[in-house]
A and B are shown apart, each in its own frame.
Chain A
C-alpha cells in the first residue's frame, strides 16, 4: 500500500477502521451506563448492541479496501478509544498509569497482527 498517494480507497478503509474503533468506545460506554441504570437499562443495552453491529459493518467495510495486515493493527486503537470514551463520558480517572498501560496494550496488540 502506498500512503504517499492522494486519498485512495485504502485511506477510506483506514478511516472506516478508525471510525469502527470510535463506535466501539461508544458501544462500551452504553453498556456501562446500562449496567448502572435500573430503569432504562434495556434501552442502553439495545443501543450498545446496535452500536456493536454498526462497528462490525464499518470494520468489514474497512477490510474490503484495506489489507488485514493494516486493518488489524489499526483496530488495536479500540482499546485507546474505549479508555478515552470512559474518561470523556463516564469521568473515569485511572490516572497516567492507566494511560501508559493502554499505550503498551495498543502497541502490543498492533504487533500481534497476522503477517505484518
Chain B
C-alpha cells in the first residue's frame, strides 16, 4: 500500500498516529499485530478444513446421523480443537484492543482465501476478485490507523491512568 506515510515504521501499522505513544509500547503493538496475524492465518486454515468436513458429510437430513458422521471424522475433532484455540487467542486479543478495531481486521482472511483459490486451486483471477481484495485492503488500512483502544472506562477502569502497558490488566 503506497498510501502509507513513508515515515511509518513497519510495526506502526496498527498503532494510531492520534494516540499517545505511551499508550502502547512497541513490544505490545508487535504482540497485537502478531496475534492478529495468527488469527487471520488460523481462520483461513479453519475455513478450508471446515469446508472439507462439510463436503465429506453424508446426504442425510437426520441430525443424529449427521452428528454421528461428524464425530467419526478425525478432521472434525481437529476442527473443534482449533475452534477452542481460536476462542482463547481471540479473547486474549480482545483484552487489549477494541472489538471494532480487531474484528474488521480479521477480514484479511478473505485475502488469504482469495489468493489460495488462485494459486493453489487454480481458479481464474477475475477483476471482481481484485477489486474485492483491494477494497478490503483499503478498509483494513483505514482501520489500522485508528486508535487501538478507545473504550471502556467501564470495561477496564484504571487503564487510562496507567499508560505503561496494556499487559497490566492481564
Contacts and interface: CB of A to CB of B under 8 A. Distances in A.
A94 B146 contact: yes
A109 B107 CA distance: 8
Contact of B132 (A34, A45, A109): A109
Contact of B143 (A91, A94, A109): A94
Interface in A42-73: 45, 49
Contact of B145 (A34, A35, A91, A97): A97
Q: Say what secondary structure dominates the interface of chain B.
A: helix
Interface string A56-98: 0000000000000000000000010011011100111111011
A94 B101 contact: yes
Nearest to B95: A35
Contacts of A31: 87, 90-91, 94
Nearest to A94: B146
A97 to B, nearest CB: 5
Interface stretch (B25-33, B38-46, B68-76, B149-157): B149-157
Contact of B103 (A28, A33, A34, A104): A28
21 contacts: A31-B94, A34-B91, A36-B95, A36-B155, A36-B169, A45-B87, A45-B91, A82-B100, A86-B98, A86-B99, A86-B151, A94-B150, A101-B143, A102-B143, A105-B107, A105-B135, A105-B140, A111-B128, A112-B114, A112-B129, A116-B128
